[in-house]
Homo-oligomer: A and B are copies of this chain.
Amino acid sequence: MSQPVQALLFDVFGTVVDWREGVARDAAAFLRRRPAARQDAYAFADAWRALYSPAMEAVRAGRRPFTRLDQLHRENLEATLPAFGVDPASAPEDELQWLNRAWHRLDPWPDSVAGLARLKAGHIIATLSNGNTSLLLNMAKYAGLPWDAILGAEAAQAYKPMPQAYLRTAELLDLPPERICLVAAHNGDLAAARRCGFKTAFIMRPREFGPEQRTDLAAEQDWDWVARDLVELAGILGC
């Protein structure tokens, strides 16, 4: 390798935090207050998350202006509730806001905080997530994630895997892409980063989508680094 990596940028949902457990936990509390609703919080989390990529696609395709993820999540929440027997118009606004911010209150995987602390000693560590700035910042305070900076879709005004999401982030860091490594549990995200010249590190998160997960169980390209978790990555990188 010519020059060492100076910045490690992290996908967050699934790579650093367990969105499915966190969303299901808060959805369960919301549904329990409505005994007539369908009481399946994991199915709720999965259904809500299933609308995530299509909602961003409208922005990526230019059909709507850049819209922060909190707003997309809110629209997707209202679209998800009826199938669980809840009329969004009947739910108090403060409860909807609270549930929508479940994405701000996600717990880290058991290795994340320790791994990030070690990686931070030798690198800039920052988010490169589709989450908006305030979502990622509130999550960092909640979960104790020691980011040096909060970067990603909102700062770049482009959603991954659009190349602008990676390249504008590199520009903000004032680093050439080859001095940056994307750390992610998703092969598609890494492939897009590699096309922009980033180094790549794959983290295995085989339970991100629950026990039945079928995707991203293994590295699908010869990524620069592959690790089971962030503590192992720190060891591999000599931190």
Check: A124 CB closer than 8 A to any chain B CB. Answer: yes
**Cβ of A137: which chain B residues have Cβ within 8 Å of it?**
124, 126, 148-149, 173
Residues of A104-160 at the interface with B, using a CB-CB cut-off of 8 Å, are 124, 126, 132-134, 137, 140-141, 147-151, 154-155
20 pairs, CB–CB < 8 Å, chain A vs chain B: A70-B174, A124-B137, A124-B141, A126-B137, A132-B174, A133-B149, A133-B172, A133-B174, A134-B174, A134-B175, A137-B148, A137-B173, A140-B148, A147-B148, A147-B149, A148-B150, A149-B149, A149-B150, A154-B172, A155-B155
Q: Which B-chain residue is minimally distant from A134 (CB atoms)?
A: B174
Rounded to whole Å, the gap between the CB of A178 and the closest CB of chain B is 16
Contact A141 B134 (CB under 8 A): no
**Cβ of A132: which chain B residues have Cβ within 8 Å of it?**
174
Choose among B141, B151, B154 the residue that contacts A148 (Cβ–Cβ < 8 A): B141
Rounded to whole Å, the gap between the CB of A104 and the closest CB of chain B is 10
**Cβ of A126: which chain B residues have Cβ within 8 Å of it?**
137
**Cβ of A141: which chain B residues have Cβ within 8 Å of it?**
124, 148
Measured CA separation A151–B151 after assembly (Å): 10
**Cβ of A133: which chain B residues have Cβ within 8 Å of it?**
149, 151, 172-174
**Cβ of A155: which chain B residues have Cβ within 8 Å of it?**
155
Measured CA separation A148–B139 after assembly (Å): 11
Measured CA separation A133–B170 after assembly (Å): 11
Rounded to whole Å, the gap between the CB of A205 and the closest CB of chain B is 25
**Cβ of A148: which chain B residues have Cβ within 8 Å of it?**
137, 140-141, 147, 150
Known: A126-B137, A134-B174, A137-B148. 18 other contacts (CB 8 A): A70-B174, A124-B137, A124-B141, A132-B174, A133-B149, A133-B151, A133-B172, A133-B174, A134-B172, A134-B173, A134-B175, A137-B149, A141-B148, A147-B148, A147-B149, A148-B150, A150-B150, A155-B155
Measured CA separation A148–B150 after assembly (Å): 8
**Cβ of A147: which chain B residues have Cβ within 8 Å of it?**
148-149
Which of A133, A147, A151 has most chain B Cβ within 10 Å?
A133
